[in-house]
Structure 1
C-alpha cells in the first residue's frame, strides 16, 4: 500500500455512484483525503442552499470505504480547498477532467503536488451519473404531471429597451424574448422580470390561467401599470409578453407602450436550438439604489443599431445558424450598452458609490472562455444573470457547476 497522500475536493451534495467510483479510482494512487465545500461556499457559488448541510455531507463522505479522512473546506469560492490542502499536505491532487483548470494545475506546480485528471467513467455495470443529470431527473420526476410548473419567467434575447416609447420614438423595432420554465430559483433584482412575475403571483399565486396568451399579457401589463400608480416608471410590455406568451416571441414597437404586432415561434427544432446554446450564470443582484438609466445616450443611429441587431438575431435563430446568432446577440447587447452604459456601470442615486467591479470581472472571466461565443446581462443589467451563447449548453453546464441550463416553456 502506497504511503502517498491523495487529495480531492468538491461539494458532494447529491452523493451518487459516480462520486464513489471517483473516490475509488483516486484512492488507487494512495491514502485518500477529501475536502468538502462548506454551506457558505455552496450558497455563495451556486446561489442556493445545498440539499444536505455540511455536517451530513461530511458524515456520508467519511463513511465511504475508499476515503481515509474528510474535512469541511474553510476557504471561499472555487479554490475553497486551499486551507485543507495546507492541513493534508498531499503528494497528489486528483480532479475529474470536467473539474480541472489551469488555476488548479498552477497551484499544484507551486506547491510541488502532482496533478492528475481522471476521465469520468461509471463503475462497471452501472449507469453514468453526474450531479447535474441527477438534479434534472429529479426535476422531471417531480414535474411529471401536465400542469404548468409555477409562474414562468422570461429571458430577453435581443432588442431590450425598444419597448420603451422614449427609445422606439427614434426608430421602430422588435424585442425578442423566450418564456422559461422556473426550473431554477428565480432571484429578485436580477434581470428576469421578477417585479412583473411578483405582480402575477398576487393574481394567480400558483400558475397562469389557461387563456389566450396575448390577452393574458395585456391584463398583466395593465395591472402592473395601473393609472393609480404614483411612483416608478411604466414597466415595458416585453416583461408581461415574455412571461405570458410561451416559446420564442418577438414583438414590434413603434413609439407606443404596447407592440403593434406579436409573432410567436413554437417550432420544436428552433426551441431546442436555443436550449442547446443558451445558459445563464448568476452574479450578484442589482444593488439597491442603483440606476441603469442615468447617463443614457439615445440617438436615432443607436436605436437603429439595436433594431438591426434584433432583426439579424431573429433571422439567425430561424436559420439555426449558431455563428450568426452569436454575432447578432453580441451586437444587440453592444447597442443596448451604447445607449445605457449604466447596464455595466450603474449610478447610485442618493447613495454613496458602490463597487461594481464584479460586472467587469464576470465579463472578463466568461468572455475569455473558448466555448463562450457571446454574452449579455439579463434585463436592464447592473448585475443579476449573465446569459451566454455557448457551443454546447450541456457540456458547458457539466464543466461549470454555476451554469443554469434553460427549459423554454412550450405551452
Structure 2
C-alpha cells in the first residue's frame, strides 16, 4: 500500500513550478493537497485571490500527480491542520522556503515524516514563482489601465435607496442608501450619475489616488470639502456620493432627516462582492443634457419614501444572502420607488418644460427586454448617464453586448 503524502498552499496562479513540486512530492507516495480558502488568502495576503477556491480546487485536482485535494478549513499560515487530520498522511512535504519550526513540530506530534524540497524547475523549463508571475501581470495591468480612466480615484454606483440621503426625503421616513465603490476600469464620464462632481472635487486634493486613512473619516472630509460654506449654488451634495467613493466594498448608510447618516455599515466579504460582480453590469447612455432637471415635478410623500426604504432593506438582505431573484426584485422595486418620487429621473424637464428627446424610457425598454436581464435602474439621479442592469451572468452579457461594462468593486486594502 502506497504511503500518503501531503502538501499545502494557495496555488492561485497555478504554474509549472507548482506542477513540478507536485510531481516531486508524489515520488514519496499518493499525493494529497490542501488549498488555502478565499478567506484565508484575503487574511494572509491582504488581497483577493485571482481565482476563487472552487476554481483552484478544480485545477489542482486535475493535475496528474495529485491523488485528491481539499479546501483547508483552518485559518492563517497553519490553515492546513484540519485537512492534515482528515488525510492522516505518512509524509508532509514542503518547499524549503516554505518550511518552519511550527510545521516540523506539528508533524512530530502526529508521527508524520517531515520533508523539505529545494525549489527546482522541470528540466528544460524556466523557473517560475507566483511572485514573479504577479510582477509580470502587474506590468500588463498598468499597460491595460491606460485604456480605462486616466485617474485612479474610485467612483461609486448606487444600488438602492438613494435620494434618501437628502433630508427633504428622509424627513418623511428614515432608511438606508446602498452603494458600491468601483475601480475606474472604464472611462468615467461627467454628468453620468457616477458621482463625478464629488470625484472631481477629490482630484483637486488627491489627483492620483485616495490617501490611506479611515474610510469614514475620509468620506467626512470629502463631504465637507465639497459642501463648503462658500459654495455659490447653495446645493448640498448627498453624503452617499462621498461615502460611496471612499468606503470600499458594499456599503449602506442610514439617513434620518440629516445630511450625514446616523450609521454606516459595510462588508468586504469576498463571496458577496463576487456575487455582485457576477450579476451587475452597466450600459452607457447619453449624459444628462444641459438645463435638465430631474427634481422638477417631484412627488414626495411618507408612503412613497417608505417604499424606497423597504426596497433598500430587501435589497441588502438579498445581496448578503446571495439571493439573485430577491436581489433583482428589490433592485427593481427601489428604482420604481425612486421614479415614483422623482419622475424626472426617466422623463426629465429641461428649461422648465418636458423634454421628450431627453427621455431615457427608450433605453429602459430596449435593455429590459433583452435576454438575461432581470432588473434595471439608472445610475445616480438619472436623466441619462448609465443604465445599471442585474443580469443572470455578467460575463455572458458583456460578451454578447460590446457596449456593456463589467464592474470591479474596490476591495479594502487595495
The normalised TM-score by structure 2 is 0.63
Distance in structure 2 (CA, Å) of the matches to 1:214 and 1:315: 22
Kept after mapping to 1: 8 A contact 2:347/2:355: no
* Aligned pairs for 1:143-222 within 5 A: 150-222=152-224
Q: Secondary structure at the match of 1:286?
A: coil
Distance in structure 1 (CA, Å) of the matches to 2:326 and 2:352: 42
The normalised TM-score by structure 1 is 0.64
Q: Secondary structure at the match of 1:355?
A: helix
Distance in structure 1 (CA, Å) of the matches to 2:382 and 2:181: 18
Distance in structure 1 (CA, Å) of the matches to 2:395 and 2:141: 16
Indicate the residue corresponding to 1:326 in structure 2. 328
User: How much has 1:176 moved relative to structure 2?
Assistant: 0.2
Distance in structure 2 (CA, Å) of the matches to 1:215 and 1:262: 12
1:242 paired residue among 244, 255, 259: 244
Indicate the residue corresponding to 1:54 in structure 2. none
Kept after mapping to 2: 8 A contact 1:178/1:248: yes
Distance in structure 2 (CA, Å) of the matches to 1:363 and 1:143: 30
Q: Does 1:293 align with 2:292?
A: no
Q: Secondary structure at the match of 1:241?
A: helix
Distance in structure 2 (CA, Å) of the matches to 1:137 and 1:309: 43
Distance in structure 1 (CA, Å) of the matches to 2:308 and 2:337: 5
Deviations 1:232-262 (A, max 9, x none): 4100000000000000000000000000000
Indicate the residue corresponding to 1:388 in structure 2. 389
Indicate the residue corresponding to 1:344 in structure 2. 346
Q: Does 1:263 align with 2:270?
A: no
Indicate the residue corresponding to 1:47 in structure 2. none
Kept after mapping to 2: 8 A contact 1:289/1:351: no
Where does structure 1 lack aligned partners over 5 or more consecutive residues? 1-135
Kept after mapping to 1: 8 A contact 2:239/2:259: yes
Q: Secondary structure at the match of 1:386?
A: strand
Distance in structure 2 (CA, Å) of the matches to 1:272 and 1:223: 33
Indicate the residue corresponding to 1:407 in structure 2. 408
User: How much has 1:361 moved relative to structure 2?
Assistant: 1.3
Kept after mapping to 1: 8 A contact 2:347/2:356: no
Indicate the residue corresponding to 1:377 in structure 2. 378
User: How much has 1:230 moved relative to structure 2?
Assistant: 2.3
Deviations 1:204-225 (A, max 9, x none): 0000000000000000000000
Distance in structure 2 (CA, Å) of the matches to 1:174 and 1:137: 40
Where does structure 2 lack aligned partners over 5 or more consecutive residues? 1-137
Indicate the residue corresponding to 2:22 in structure 1. none
Q: Secondary structure at the match of 1:388?
A: strand
Q: 4+ residue stretches of structure 1 with deviation over 3 A? A: 136-144, 350-354
RMSD: 2.0
User: How much has 1:353 moved relative to structure 2?
Assistant: 4.0
Distance in structure 2 (CA, Å) of the matches to 1:315 and 1:292: 29
Alpha-carbon spacing, 1:367–1:142, altered in 2? closer, same or farther (3 Å): closer
Indicate the residue corresponding to 1:120 in structure 2. none
Alpha-carbon spacing, 1:181–1:157, altered in 2? closer, same or farther (3 Å): same
Distance in structure 1 (CA, Å) of the matches to 2:352 and 2:389: 33
**Mean Cα displacement is larger for which, 361-370 or 156-165?**
361-370
Distance in structure 2 (CA, Å) of the matches to 1:360 and 1:351: 17
Indicate the residue corresponding to 1:362 in structure 2. 363
Kept after mapping to 2: 8 A contact 1:155/1:179: yes
* Aligned pairs for 1:216-231 within 5 A: 216-231=218-233
